[in-house]
Structure 1
């Protein structure tokens, strides 16, 4: 989730648990603690793929953060013990403040390595968009009120209620995810489509509209946009994964890393002799995926791919498209032009088509 949400969540937890004893300091300390896991962004990597798959790594590990919580509790009890509560209360406040950061991140589509140094596919429950004002705003307002008025009984109660709201909202997001996935699965299977795997993610800023990607055994995928408030069938499009392009690549560690990180939710495109790999999990949909990478090039069609240091492939940031998606939450007409957007997948961005590779 975004930094404001993480800071507000940490401030709310610490303020609710320790604000009676430490006042505003508890709120500030909670906000600072909750942002610590994201300090891994200062680490520089050789290429954007390495940066992507290593973000939310060791610093988001439940094991690492539990050890850090124990160490901080011991240090604070040694140097600045409070006579008002014991080590147990302090540990739970610190641990919950730290541990909720990666757990909340795991509710997004990006992927969080909760069990680092073990290496299962990073967790992406994908029930929240990375910025969701309906989740964040109530808690942020309660924290701001506590900072101005002080964490008295009323403001602490407000923080507890907004933390409860966050839990209810998360539960609703999980339920909505099941609803939209079942809806899309039933529609596909009623049309004779065999669904091999399915991934769904909420569209920007809400949990009422979802993008559902269904992979089929024939190397295709279906992309659907469906909302909780829909009264008619959702927009749906069948597209190719083009996995034969990846099979033509020699073994290449960055590509294998991205396949592991994404759970292999990847699409491959040959764009003017360049191998572009798109992460299907994030973005508005085909034509507007958030993470696309240039992995290789070749001199002519049919020639061997030449791997290269991965680079970001320019992604389109459509303001009008984003507005259309937000409006789609409550309005199905006109439908989203998914086919038109998908045509842009294989178009080279301006300045790329005639670029000569070194």
Structure 2
């Protein structure tokens, strides 16, 4: 999640645990602890793909944060909070730290909660990385707690209760969309194919669905407000890796994305894209990995992350209209490079 959400969550958790001991300093300390795990962004692992894959790694691991909480609590009690009961101080620090990666695990990016174990990162994908309906119920009570100090703990508790209910709602909404997708692909050649589902920006009503299908993939949008549960699919070019073997870095990238990768050959360049994040016309994680030399032979290059460019102005109102069930997906998903043109589509999802 974004830094504001994480800071508000850390502050609210600290305020609730502190109880009558809650002060503005406690709230600020909780906010700092809530953002601390994301300091791993300053680390450089050598290339942009590795930086992407290893973000939310050791600094988000429960096996690291819990022992670190004990050390930090001992240090803090020794030098700054001698009057605090150690158990209360340890609970505050541990809760403010570990709620950060737990919240991150509800997004699509993936969080390595169990690093260094060789297990997949956790990516529930029921929340967009920025969602005001989650953040505001936390942020407003925390700001109010800075003013009404006697009620600070109760305000923080109320904010946490509301935001947690919204988090639980996102799981319910995800379950409804999963059932709808299963019904839509049942009896088609897409039944049993890998499926990725995530909310669109800033809400849990309109959802994006991606289904892999060999050298193409099908992308659709479905809103919980749609009167018709039939998903309107758009086929997209997925491409393929042109080399007989793939480098270890690409294998790691495919494992990280769970196979939701697009290979795009354009002019003399080859890029790889994480299909889970963004939408068809806007993918923030696209990397140049190969170029053609003067003899028109592909050669690997050091990965370079490409600028996705700005969001098109027409997409914002189109997204809102689609959320309400009043817009087709073409305005949001289709462009001249990624979509099959209507005359090129020789088969349907059926």
- TM-score, normalised relative to structure 1: 0.88
Q: How does 1:224-263 map to 2 (within 5 A)?
A: 224-232=220-228, 233-243=230-240, 245=241, 248=243, 250-263=245-258
The whole-number CA distance in structure 1 between the counterparts of 2:12 and 2:20 is 13
The whole-number CA distance in structure 2 between the counterparts of 1:123 and 1:319 is 33
RMSD: 2.2
How far residue 306 of structure 1 moved from its aligned partner, in angstroms, is 0.9
Q: Which runs of 5+ in 1 are unaligned?
A: 347-358
Q: How does 1:107-256 map to 2 (within 5 A)?
A: 107-150=106-149, 152=150, 154-216=151-213, 218-232=214-228, 233-243=230-240, 245=241, 248=243, 250-256=245-251
Where 2:198 maps in the other structure, the secondary structure is strand
Where 2:334 maps in the other structure, the secondary structure is helix
Where 1:318 maps in the other structure, the secondary structure is coil
Q: How does 1:1-358 map to 2 (within 5 A)?
A: 1-83=1-83, 86-150=85-149, 152=150, 154-216=151-213, 218-232=214-228, 233-243=230-240, 245=241, 248=243, 250-283=245-278, 285-299=279-293, 304-316=297-309, 317-330=311-324, 332-337=325-330, 341-345=334-338
How far residue 272 of structure 1 moved from its aligned partner, in angstroms, is 1.1
Q: Structure 1 residues 240 and 189 mapped into 2: Cα distance closer, same or farther (>3 Å)?
A: farther
Where 1:278 maps in the other structure, the secondary structure is strand
Checking the alignment, whether the CA contact within 8 Å between 2:126 and 2:171 is kept in structure 1 is yes
How far residue 103 of structure 1 moved from its aligned partner, in angstroms, is 0.9
Where 2:125 maps in the other structure, the secondary structure is coil
Checking the alignment, whether the CA contact within 8 Å between 1:40 and 1:56 is kept in structure 2 is yes
Q: Structure 1 residues 65 and 230 mapped into 2: Cα distance closer, same or farther (>3 Å)?
A: same
Checking the alignment, whether the CA contact within 8 Å between 1:287 and 1:343 is kept in structure 2 is no
Q: Which runs of 5+ in 2 are unaligned?
A: 340-350
The whole-number CA distance in structure 1 between the counterparts of 2:225 and 2:48 is 38
Checking the alignment, whether the CA contact within 8 Å between 2:280 and 2:333 is kept in structure 1 is no
The whole-number CA distance in structure 2 between the counterparts of 1:190 and 1:66 is 47
Checking the alignment, whether the CA contact within 8 Å between 2:18 and 2:153 is kept in structure 1 is no
- Of 190-199 and 36-45, deviating more is 190-199
Q: Which residue of 1 aligns with 2:342?
A: none
Checking the alignment, whether the CA contact within 8 Å between 2:106 and 2:125 is kept in structure 1 is yes
How far residue 190 of structure 1 moved from its aligned partner, in angstroms, is 3.9
The whole-number CA distance in structure 1 between the counterparts of 2:280 and 2:270 is 17
The whole-number CA distance in structure 2 between the counterparts of 1:343 and 1:121 is 35
The whole-number CA distance in structure 2 between the counterparts of 1:257 and 1:40 is 19
How far residue 192 of structure 1 moved from its aligned partner, in angstroms, is 4.6
Deviation digits for residues 278-334 of structure 1, max 9, x if unmatched?
111011x22222211111112489x6531111112332422321331133211x233
Checking the alignment, whether the CA contact within 8 Å between 2:318 and 2:331 is kept in structure 1 is no
Where 2:222 maps in the other structure, the secondary structure is strand
- Of 205-214 and 120-129, deviating more is 120-129
How far residue 338 of structure 1 moved from its aligned partner, in angstroms, is 5.8
Count how many residue pairs are aligned between Structure 1 and Structure 2.
Answer: 338
How far residue 263 of structure 1 moved from its aligned partner, in angstroms, is 1.5
